[in-house]
Amino acid sequence: MRPFFEVPPLDGHLVRLEPLSVRHAADLAATADDDRTSYDFTLVPHADEVAGYITAQHERMAQGLVPFAQVRRSDGRAVGCTAFWDPRYWPGREDLRAIEIGFTWLGAAAQGSGINAEAKLLLMTYAFETLAVSRVDLKTDARNTRSRAAIAALGATFEGVLRGWSMSWAPGESGQLRDSAMYSVLAVEWGAVKQALAGRVDRQRSAARGGRPA
């Protein structure tokens, strides 16, 4: 595994993805405990666990993790996290062939606001157009119907369920494996996926502005 590689802040209209830092801890602590009803299968720290969560994410950088805070542009508050993960390189070369988007969560108040869609647009644009990968992966607990619907709505293709593939984050399942639903976007599909996803983000921006053109 090659070491952590740096990615600059990624700016959108609704969200700014900033490298995850302790400066985001207070916002994330307030966000994480606001309403946890959608976190049954997702790694989301409680307020008193945020400092340890940030430390753990930084430690995962040695394994290829590139963590971000999702900062809402309207008020500058960190409302969740996401990351690049599991970078895979071409044999004998220094350039990437594939990468995963994962470790994603958003506070309840930010869900359905367009932030998730724009964050994925920013990350996939960087992956395909700067890192020049051939494939972006997304996966979730196979039981997480909410997350599966959200990934499918991005335009990613469902590839199947791998049994016992990932560590479970569900309560009471510490140290156990989960079945993972696997999705992907390929470079040859990116143009159409980007166009559809950008249109979706524009519509959500317009709705947030009371129907006025974005």
Q: Between residues 174 and 214, which one has the greater pLDDT? A: 174
Residue 5 inside a domain? The answer is no
Mean pLDDT within 141-168: 94
When pLDDT is cut at 50, 70 and 90, the band that residue 43 belongs to is confident
At a CB cut-off of 8 Å and minimum separation 6, what does 101 contact?
Answer: 82, 83, 84, 85, 120, 123, 124, 127, 136, 137, 138
Write the DSSP symbol of residue 62.
G
What average pLDDT does range 168-175 have in this prediction?
88
Q: Provide the pLDDT for residue 54.
A: 97
pLDDT score for 212: 45
Q: How many helices (H) and strands (E) does the chain have?
A: 5, 8
Residue 8: is its pLDDT beyond 60? yes
Report which of residues 72 and 171 the model is more confident about. Answer: 72
Distance (Å) of CA 128 to CA 10, 122, 174, 185, 189 = 14, 10, 34, 10, 10
- Residue 48 in any domain: the answer is yes
Q: What is the DSSP letter of 65?
A: -
Give domain status of residue 213, yes or no. Answer: no
Whole-angstrom Cα Rg for the chain: 17
Range of the domain at 101: 10-208
Cβ of 105: how many Cβ atoms within 10 Å? 23
Read off the pLDDT band of 169 (50, 70, 90). confident
Question: What's the length of the chain?
Answer: 214
Q: Is residue 201 part of a domain?
A: yes
For residue 22, tell me if it sits in a domain: yes
**Is there a domain that residue 77 lies in?**
yes
- Domains held by the chain: number: 1
Check residue 190 and give its pLDDT. 98
Average per-residue pLDDT for the chain: 92
Q: Average the pLDDT over 135-146 and give the result.
A: 95
- pLDDT-derived band at 207 (thresholds 50, 70, 90) equals confident
- The model's pLDDT over 48-103, given as tens digits with 9 standing for 90+, comes to 999 999 999 999 998 999 999 999 999 999 999 999 999 999 998 888 999 999 99
The structure tokens 């959200």 sit at 150
| Whether the predicted pLDDT of 111 surpasses 80 | yes
Question: Side-chain half-sphere of 124: how many Cα atoms within 13 Å?
Answer: 29
**Percent above pLDDT 70 for the chain:** 96
pLDDT at 25: 97
H or E stretch covering 116? helix 115-129
Nearest 5°: phi and psi at 142? -60, -20
Half-sphere exposure of 209 (CA within 13 A, CB side): 12
pLDDT band at 184 (very low <50, low <70, confident <90, very high): very high
132: left (phi over 0), alpha (psi -120 to 50) or beta: left
What integer pLDDT is reported at residue 42 of this predicted model? 87
Higher pLDDT, 81 or 109: 81
Whether 2 is covered by a domain: the verdict is no
CATH of residue 111: 3.40.630.30
In a domain, 187, yes or no: yes
